[in-house]
Structures are given as C-alpha cells and as structure tokens.
Amino acid sequence: MQERRTPVCSSCGGVNSFILAGPEMCEQFFRVVRRQPALTANGLGRSRGFQPDEDPEEDGEEEDGGLHVSQGPRSDLGGGLASAAASEDDEDDEEDEEEPEPVEAAAVARVSSFRGGGIQRMPSSEPGVDHVFSGGIPKNHAFMLAASPGGGKSTLCRQLAAGMAESGLRVMIAAGEEVGDIAHEEFKRLKLYKRFPKGAKAVLYTGSDDTDAIIAAAKLAEVDVLFVDSLSILTSTRVQGAAGEKTQVNYAAYHLMQAAHASNEYEATRPLTIVMISHVTKEGSMAGPNKAKHWTDGAFGLEHVHPSTLEASEDQEKGVTGYVRLRVLGKYRRGTTLHHCYFRMTPHGLVRWEPKEGEGEGKEAPPAARAAPKKAVVKKAAGAKKLAAKKTPTKASRARR
C-alpha cells in the first residue's frame, strides 16, 4: 500500500488539505491545481514541483489518489508556494477529458470568382426614404429605426407598410405593444385605406411578442418585408431575462438578422427584409446594448428639428417641434451616411417637407425682400412734402407781417 502524502505549504508552513482548508492563500492555490492537475507551481509543466503518481497497475499497488509533492524550487505563484498535491478523496481530477470534435474548415474562394447580381433594392413608396437608403431599401437585410417617444417611428413604418404592399409586396407588422383593433384604428387615422386602398387591406398583422414565433410566422407567410414594433418588448424562452433586458434584446436582434440573411437555421424561400423599431434616449443616443446595433446592416433615426435652423432639439422627448429629420445614425453598409430628408407631423401622418432656400446650417432664414413702392405712390409722397413746406412760415414771411 502506498503511503499517503499530505500537502505542505512552503509559504506558511501549515498542513492543508481539500477537506480542512488552511490559509486563504493555500486554498486559492488548491483551486488552481484542481482545475488543471498538470499545471505546476512554476507554470513550466511537470518538469518541476508536481509529479503524477505512477500507474498502479505497473507497481502492483492501489491507486493513491492523484498528485503528490516533490521537493522542487520555490515559485512566485500563490505568494511563494513551491508545490502541493491532491488528496485521495478528490476523484473528479481523474476523469478523462473529452477530446474536442474535429472542426471543419470554412470554404475559401477568390473574390473575383463571385458573380453576384449586385444589391437588389425595392421602393419604399416614399421618395425621401428611398433617398436616405441610397436608392431604395435593400433586400435580405435587417435595419433599425430609432426615435424618441412620439417621434413618428411607428407612424412612418405603418405608412411604408401600406405603400409597399400597394406595389405588390407581402408585408407584415409585428406589434406586440398593441392589439389588432388599435392597429386598424391607426390605419384609419392615417387615412391609409384611402391613400393605398389595396395595400392597406393586404398588410398582415401579428400581436405576438415572441421572437421565435414572429420569425416562424414570417417564414410561413413568405413575407417580403417585416416591421417589428418594437425590439424592446420581444422575449424568447430560449434565454433568461425579462423583456427589454440585454439578453433578450441581443437574442432578438441577432436572430432577426439571421432570418433576414437566410443563414444558419433560417432558410427563406424568398428574400426577407426586416425593420426593427428601437428607442432614443434624452441625450439623442440609441437605447439598448451596442451588440444589437452592430448586428444590423444599418441604423436610422428620426429626430425633432427646428424648422428655421434645422438643428436637432437638445431634448428629443420635450423638444417636439412638429418637424422631424430622417438620417443615418452612423452606420449603413449599403450606401452613404450623408443623405437625409424632412417630414412635417400632421394629424394624418408624416408629410414630406422641403426646407426653404437659405434655411439650415445654424442660421436663421433671411427675411423676405420688401416690394418696391409704385411710382404713383412716390409722386404722391413728394407732392405732400412740397405742400407742407409751403405752409411752413419762414423768417422772410414773418418780417413782412
């Protein structure tokens, strides 16, 4: 029977084991040894400090319980610990580690070998939006539209949904924040049934707030465009956390992006474009984790502006001016980030608004030029001055009197 060896700490001189924990320094050192039995005190493998037990089948002795100490040089790890060993009660370290599965190499090809047809775009039914998207909304992409509460993001999405459905596209709105009756009333308020009689009636709707269920419904209906209102209320049973937390928002943004790109587990039978609605904070930055923004193909925002200077309001929640600007929020993979357009907020939705010449760039609009007086008015004014001069008494007339 092999003699049991008790680990001794060379730093404090105490006798310690996994069952009876000694000083904190030694206990931390034992944790490291337990995770990586092959790691020595000096980090140089098995050349110093630790020596594994010999195979019990070779020497005919029973297994003694793992690693034991050899007299090696002192080490800086753990404040001068030289070596330590595991007790015979530590059976977890003896389990064989599973070998990793072989990784299949990724496919590699020359860039010149691809013969893509370019970026396919579709009209949004709003010329200003097409201008911001550099010629139309790209297919098979996921975008984020952000604005402050009352900034017009839901209104703009409803108008685009009805307009794009009018052109023959299959459009769905996933609005977990409202029921179907409210969505119908909003369509009536915006007069979408009159502006787009066929498209407004053809728009599909779901009130689900489950990310996986919404993606499955979009695939089943074979929609071309999906508007998600909004990203902050989506949840999934696959991850923990409540709606609006980072885990749920990241999961929703990532899987919606994967569904739009038709990659991984999502295989779409037709191109799918997704527009996710998000919120903007008081400072004007997009709410939510940064990962959700980076996973999308572009981030766009609606911001309140002053109609005279075209400058954004400092407080987007309180500085409601009735005029909003749609622009790129720093990222757009399929076009320029310099385009923008303006809308005027009305009781029946957003109406395209073009600033007058001379407005913007932080300067007030120049006053309108005054019309020149007519000649008849000028002559009449000159005659009145002469008559007044005749009636005014002079020094010579006073002397005569």
Cross-strand pairs, 277: 145
pLDDT score of 48: 38
The pLDDT value recorded for residue 166 is 96
Distance CA 41, CA 28 (A): 12
What is the C-alpha to C-alpha distance for residues 280 and 201, in angstroms, rounded to an integer? 31
Concatenated DSSP letters of 67-121: -EE------STTTT-------TT--GGGSPPPPPPPPPPPP---GGG-------E
Tokens describing residue 213: 């269920």
Structure tokens at 340: 């923008």
Kindly list the distances between the CA atom of residue 140 and the CA atoms of 122, 263, 271, 344, 378, in Å, as whole numbers in the listed order: 11, 10, 5, 30, 69
Q: Percentages helix, strand, coil for the chain, rounded to the nearest 5? A: 30, 20, 50
Which stretches of 190-239 are DSSP H helices? 192-195, 197-202, 211-221
pLDDT at 149: 87
How confident is the model at residue 273, as a pLDDT? Answer: 94
Q: How far apart are CA 237 and CA 264, in angstroms?
A: 19
Q: Which residue has the tokens 């981030």?
A: 299
Q: In which residue ranges of the chain is CATH 3.40.50.300 found?
A: 121-352
Print the SS3 string covering 245-257: CHHHHHHHHHHHH
- Residue 146, both tokens: 């952000």
Please say whether the beta carbons of 91 and 72 come within 8 A.
no
The Cα-based distances of 261 to 33, 138, 139, 142 in angstroms read 46, 11, 9, 8
Question: What whole-number distance in Å separates Cα of residue 292 and Cα of residue 195?
Answer: 34
Per-residue pLDDT of the chain (401 residues; tens, 9 = 90+): 444 444 555 444 544 444 444 444 444 444 444 444 433 344 433 433 434 444 444 444 444 444 444 444 444 444 444 444 445 555 555 555 677 888 888 889 888 887 766 788 999 999 999 999 999 999 999 999 999 888 899 999 999 999 999 999 999 999 988 888 999 999 999 999 999 999 999 999 999 999 999 999 999 999 999 999 989 899 999 999 999 888 999 999 999 999 998 754 555 557 799 999 998 766 656 666 677 778 899 999 999 999 888 988 877 776 678 899 999 988 899 999 999 999 999 999 999 999 876 555 434 433 333 344 444 444 455 555 555 555 556 555 556 55
Cβ(160)–Cβ(187) below 8 Å: no
How far from chain centre, in Å, is Cα 313? 22
246-261 helix and 211-221 helix, angle to the nearest 10 degrees: 20
**Res 206: pLDDT:** 95
**CATH code for the part of the protein at 121-352:** 3.40.50.300
